């Protein structure tokens, strides 16, 4: 049944059920085949590995590979291998514009109600007239699964399943009846295919049946004797019709033995070794163009890859991965705990000295970014590119009131600047769709995005007033453009992003309104993302976060215009307008105020996961420990009130904030909470139950922030080093200004810092209270021991 998946159009509905049933049955396959696992396999030689002594049962135990576009979750079963497959443009729906035609007319009344303090009324009017139609955006969806059925039962010895982060290869190995079997899986950014290699240490041992399954409306058939083809269309979602065609192809290349295709399966028997090549593509070309040819795309990459040897495919993949991955090395020390399998280490981290697990988490974050966001791909979404569902949590899209930004926090500091390119392209596209929204909803110039977007670059407010009615998402993304410039100053890039910064600024120049009580220029309507104030709503005017984001946007636009020598009048206007934004204020409890009024202590959710107004302290630098100590004290008080323990990404934000507060012990304590099983799954995916990848990226960045910071006009070394990491070293971290840094420390004290710079410059270094200003020659380096 599972192997003869040959749908007709009439059968497609039934097949959705069949595929789901297959997925459910597959969970029980290990039990059905009653594999007995004997012997304890030793740890892999590569210490930067996640590894286990049993196959994955749940999806959050499987291991992710990806080339930015094509992803697979590798389960590593003995009787049945399962690869759950993704392609980063397989989303539901098609080009659409969800702006409500009634929004523009309703907004003046909404503003009036808000300024009169009638928040609940404003909320109702927004719900009725202003929210997007449909109210939700499109979902990112799974391609389906490839199964390899080996049909074996009995005992296996020394089973080990691992993900080698240094090579970006998932591996399974075990011994059965004296034969050692090895499987390798990788997703190649060079050849644009997923490669599976099956080998054994004796001839004629490889046999299996390969099948493809999917919950999508698709059919599967064997083709050309050695291939499987899945062809389908994407689904309709919330009344937006599916507009994409997609195809996945598997080609089976055998060495020795024989094979045959039957219906919708390919069977191999008695082979010495087998390479499977998997390609997938959709007809998506751009948010407004779905005229691609998935058949041509998948055939072309398979034909090209089939001509290469496995060794060549593998070495090209490894070299391209290592070009990025090996730029940073981190050693926080190694204890005996590091010899345990990864799932055991996660279970015991809180009570054990295992600094190498923190280093592994850091490098895993870098691995995941390289694997989910490369030039030419979509940006990493809420699950990177890994999703087994048709209706994933929050549609696995781009939530830009924290989550997408957090995904990219580690990109610059951990030396993966190329991975930001998909985000830059997304902002360029949002500047187009968001210009339409600025015009039709707000009668404004420039462009804007509310709190979410999807593959189709939708920009209208979704979900409900509390979530969607927030105009500052696009402006926050602009900080990443500026950061990219600051980490590697380059005039061509500045020229590219300037129109984006300028357009984002123009939107606010046109839509900020005077708050009648204080005279500030404020956003209205808005929210402090997702947090309700004491008056029955989250809807308000001029939340602190908006002022902070717009202050950064205006300042960076003004700086860019100055560097490019353009738009003098605009610069003047940005400066003047910035001065009229609501200032950061310390409230009665000593906290940084979340709203213009001091409502914080009465807000219904005192431990709310979002800490939006702390944006000014991290990721921004408007508030700093030495520059604005009173406001930094407000940040600390707010953090104490919110509590350290929250859901995955929210913990990761707190971690970065405590690292900026330079409290190494507190930061490390919270890191232990991030790394415990309730927030880190066995495959080290971050739990925001079920799974959201931002916590992985935020956590990785926090570890970098503990070692190096460069936001206050100086490069600060080991600002939040915890006692748990007394000796160690890091190389290849990046700092603002275009610097690359290596550090080594012993007994908790810096022993050596090396600073390199391609373009050279005067650099101010800080170690605790000691500072030094030194000159680095272009292409040169300097060494400092902190004295």
Applying CB under 6 A, the residues found at the interface with ligand FUC are: 382, 394, 399, 403, 530, 610, 649, 688, 692
- Strand-pair partners of 74: 63, 83
Cis-peptide, bond into residue 690, ω within 30° of zero? yes
Judged on CB neighbours under 10 Å (0-12, 13-18, 19+), 9 is exposed
Q: Strand 739-746 vs strand 749-757: parallel, antiparallel, or unpaired?
A: antiparallel
Question: Which residues are CB-neighbours of 644 under 8 A, at least 6 positions away?
Answer: 651, 654, 666, 669, 670, 673
Give the residue with the Cβ less far from ligand FUC, 531 or 578: 531
In the complex with ligand FUC, which residue's Cβ is closer, 209 or 544?
544
Minimum gap (Å) between residue 65 Cβ and ligand FUC:
24
Nearer to ligand FUC, 275 or 399 (CB): 399
Compute CA distances 448 → 335, 343, 433, 444, whole Å. 50, 43, 9, 10
Least Å distance between CB 402 and ligand FUC?
6
Question: Based on CB atoms, which residue is closest to ligand FUC, 3 or 642?
Answer: 642
Decide whether 387 or 403 has the Cβ nearer to ligand FUC.
403
Which residues in 605-649 belong to E strands, given as ranges? none
Q: How far is the CB of 685 from ligand FUC (least distance, A)?
A: 14
Pick the closer one to ligand FUC by CB: 403 or 544. Answer: 403
Structure-token pair, residue 550? 């717009």
**To the nearest whole angstrom, how small is the minimum distance from the Cβ of residue 403 to ligand FUC?**
5
Q: Min. distance of Cβ 461 from ligand FUC in angstroms? A: 13
In whole angstroms, the minimum distance from the beta carbon of 688 to ligand FUC comes to: 5
Give dist(CA 498, CA 464) in Å, integer. Answer: 32
> Token digits for 110?
């909404």
Q: How far is the CB of 700 from ligand FUC (least distance, A)?
A: 17
- Please say which residue, 235 or 403, places its beta carbon nearer to ligand FUC: 403
Strand bridging mode 245-255 / 273-282: antiparallel
Reduced 3-state DSSP string for 634-663: HHHHHHHHHCCCCCHHHHHHHHHHHHHCCC
* Tokens coding 519: 């005279």
Of 232 and 379, the one with the shorter C-beta distance to ligand FUC is 379
Helix, strand, coil shares of the chain, percent, nearest 5, are 35, 25, 40
With helix as H, strand as E and coil as C, how does 428-455 read? Answer: HHHHHHHHHHHHHHHCCCCCCCCCEECC
For residue 134, what are the CA distances in angstroms to 98, 460, 542? 6, 10, 27
CA distances from 738 to 229, 327, 415, 760 (A): 47, 15, 11, 8
User: Smaller CB distance to ligand FUC: residue 410 or 695?
Assistant: 695
Which residue, among 185, 44, 104, has the nearest Cα to 441 in the 3D structure? Answer: 104
Taking the complex as a whole, the smallest distance from the CB of residue 159 to ligand FUC amounts, in Å, to 35
Nearer to ligand FUC, 405 or 692 (CB): 692
Picking from 661, 678, 566, 575, the residue whose alpha carbon sits closest to that of residue 623 is 661
Comparing CB distances to ligand FUC, the nearer of 35 and 693 is: 693
Instruction: Identify the three-state secondary structure at position 90.
Output: coil
Q: At closest approach, how far in Å is the CB of 693 from ligand FUC?
A: 11
Rounded to the nearest angstrom, the gap between the alpha carbon of residue 96 and the centroid of all alpha carbons in its chain is 25
Q: How far is the CB of 363 from ligand FUC (least distance, A)?
A: 24
CB 337, min distance to ligand FUC, A: 31
In the complex, the smallest distance separating the C-beta of residue 395 from ligand FUC, rounded to whole angstroms, is: 9
Burial environment of residue 29 by CB neighbours within 10 A (0 to 12, 13 to 18, 19 or more)? buried
**Beta carbon nearer to ligand FUC, 207 or 619:** 619
Q: Which is nearer to ligand FUC, 533 or 668 (CB)?
A: 533
Structure token pair of residue 280: 């997938």
Residue ranges of E strands in 41-168: 49-52, 63-66, 70-74, 80-87, 144-149, 154-164
CB of 609 to ligand FUC, least distance (A): 6
Beta bridge partners of 176: 179
The minimum distance between CB 58 and ligand FUC, in angstroms, equals: 21
209 vs 692 by CB, closer to ligand FUC: 692
What is the token pair recorded at 451?
């709190």
The nearer residue to ligand FUC, 482 or 681, going by C-beta atoms, is 681
Q: Nearest distance from residue 192's CB to ligand FUC, in Å?
A: 29
**Cα–Cα distance, 571 to 554 (Å, whole number):** 8
CA atoms of 756 and 585, how far apart (whole Å): 39
Quote the least distance from Cβ 387 to ligand FUC, whole Å.
13
Answer for the pair 186, 168: CB distance below 8 angstroms, yes or no.
yes
DSSP single-letter state for residue 138: P
Contact 379, 426 (CB under 8 A): yes
Least Å from the CB of residue 383 to ligand FUC: 10
Cβ distance 159 to 102 under 8 Å?
no
Q: 598: burial class by Cβ within 10 Å (0-12, 13-18, 19+)? A: middle
Cα–chain-centroid distance for residue 40? 34
Q: In angstroms, give the least distance from the CB of 608 to ligand FUC.
A: 9
| Under 8 Å between Cβ of 284 and 297 | no
Closer residue to ligand FUC, CB minimum distance, 310 or 409: 409
Q: Pick between residue 283 and residue 531 the one whose CB is nearest to ligand FUC.
A: 531
Enclosing H/E stretch for 774: strand 770-776
Angle at 314 between CA 312 and CA 317, to 5 degrees: 105
Between residues 176 and 609, which has the closer beta carbon with respect to ligand FUC? 609
Strand ranges of the sheet holding 715-717, from the earlier edge strand across to the other edge: 708-709, 715-717, 761-767, 770-776
């Amino acid at each position: 049944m599972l192997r003869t998946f040959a749908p007709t159009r009439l059968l497609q509905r039934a097949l959705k059920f069949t595929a789901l049933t297959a997925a459910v049955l597959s969970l029980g396959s290990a039990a059905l085949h009653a594999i007995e696992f004997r012997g304890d396999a030793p740890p892999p030689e590569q210490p930067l590995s996640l590894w286990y002594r049993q196959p994955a049962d749940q999806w959050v135990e499987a291991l992710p590979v990806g080339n930015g576009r094509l992803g697979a979750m590798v389960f590593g079963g003995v009787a049945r291998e399962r690869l759950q497959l993704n392609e980063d443009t397989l989303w539901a729906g098609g080009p659409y514009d969800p702006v409500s035609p009634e929004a523009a007319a309703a907004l003046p009344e909404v503003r009036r109600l808000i300024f009169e303090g009638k928040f609940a009324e404003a909320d109702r009017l927004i719900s009725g007239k202003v929210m997007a139609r449909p109210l939700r955006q499109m979902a990112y969806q799974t391609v389906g699964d490839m199964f390899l059925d080996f049909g074996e039962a009995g005992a296996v010895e020394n089973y080990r399943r691992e993900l080698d982060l240094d090579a970006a290869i998932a591996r399974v190995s075990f011994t059965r009846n004296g034969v050692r079997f090895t499987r390798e899986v990788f997703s190649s950014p060079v050849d644009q295919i997923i490669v599976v290699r099956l080998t054994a240490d004796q001839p004629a041992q490889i046999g299996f049946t390969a099948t493809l399954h999917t919950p999508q409306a698709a059919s599967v058939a064997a083709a050309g004797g050695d291939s499987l083809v899945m062809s389908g269309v994407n689904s309709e979602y919330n009344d937006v019709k599916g507009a994409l065609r997609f195809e996945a192809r598997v080609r089976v290349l055998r060495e020795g033995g024989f094979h045959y295709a039957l219906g919708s399966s390919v069977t191999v028997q008695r082979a010495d070794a087998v390479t499977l090549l998997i390609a997938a593509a959709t007809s998506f070309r751009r948010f407004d163009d779905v005229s691609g040819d998935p058949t041509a795309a998948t055939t072309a990459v398979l034909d090209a890859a089939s001509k290469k040897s496995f060794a060549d495919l593998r070495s090209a993949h490894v070299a391209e991965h290592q070009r990025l991955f090996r730029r940073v090395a981190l050693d926080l020390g190694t204890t005996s705990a590091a010899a345990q399998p990864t799932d055991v280490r996660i279970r015991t981290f809180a009570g054990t000295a295992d600094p190498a697990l923190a280093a592994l988490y850091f490098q895993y974050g870098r691995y995941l970014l390289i694997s989910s966001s490369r030039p030419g791909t979509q940006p990493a979404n809420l699950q990177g590119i890994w999703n087994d569902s048709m209706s994933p949590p929050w549609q696995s899209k781009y939530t830009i009131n924290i989550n997408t930004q957090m995904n990219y926090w580690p990109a610059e500091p951990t030396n993966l600047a190329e991975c930001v390119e998909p985000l830059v392209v997304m902002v360029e596209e949002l500047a187009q769709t968001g210009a339409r929204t600025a015009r039709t909803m707000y009668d404004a110039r420039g462009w804007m995005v509310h709190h979410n977007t999807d593959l189709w670059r939708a920009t209208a407010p979704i979900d409900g007033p509390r979530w969607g009615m927030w105009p500052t998402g696009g402006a926050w993304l602009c900080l990443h453009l500026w950061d990219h410039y600051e980490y590697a100053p380059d005039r061509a890039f500045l020229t590219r992003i300037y129109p984006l910064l300028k357009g984002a600024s123009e939107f606010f120049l046109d839509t900020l309104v005077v708050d009648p009580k204080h005279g500030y220029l404020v956003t209205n309507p808005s929210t402090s993302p997702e947090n309700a104030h004491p008056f029955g709503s989250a809807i308000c005017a001029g939340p602190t976060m908006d002022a902070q984001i717009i202050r950064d946007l205006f300042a960076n636009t003004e700086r860019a215009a100055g560097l490019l020598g353009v738009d003098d009048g605009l610069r003047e206007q940005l400066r003047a307008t910035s001065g009229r934004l609501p200032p950061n204020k310390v409230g009665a409890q000593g906290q940084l105020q979340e709203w213009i009024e001091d409502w914080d202590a009465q807000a219904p959710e005192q431990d709310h996961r979002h800490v939006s107004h702390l944006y000014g302290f991290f990721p921004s630098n408007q508030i700093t420990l030495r520059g604005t100590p009173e406001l930094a004290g407000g940040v600390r008080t707010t953090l104490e009130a919110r509590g350290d323990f929250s859901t995955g990404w929210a913990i990761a934000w707190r971690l970065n904030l405590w690292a900026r507060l330079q409290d190494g012990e507190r930061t490390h304590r919270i890191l232990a909470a991030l790394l415990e099983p309730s927030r880190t799954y066995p495959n080290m995916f971050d739990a925001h139950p079920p799974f959201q990848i931002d916590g992985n990226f935020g956590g990785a960045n926090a570890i970098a922030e503990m070692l190096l910071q460069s936001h206050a006009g100086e490069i600060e070394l080991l600002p939040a080093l915890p006692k748990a990491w007394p000796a160690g070293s890091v190389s290849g971290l990046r700092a603002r200004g275009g610097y690359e840094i290596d550090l080594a420390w012993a007994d908790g004290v810096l022993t050596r810092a090396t600073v390199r710079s391609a373009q050279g410059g005067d650099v101010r270094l800080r170690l605790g209270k000691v500072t030094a200003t030194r000159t680095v020659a272009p292409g040169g380096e300097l060494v400092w021991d902190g004295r």
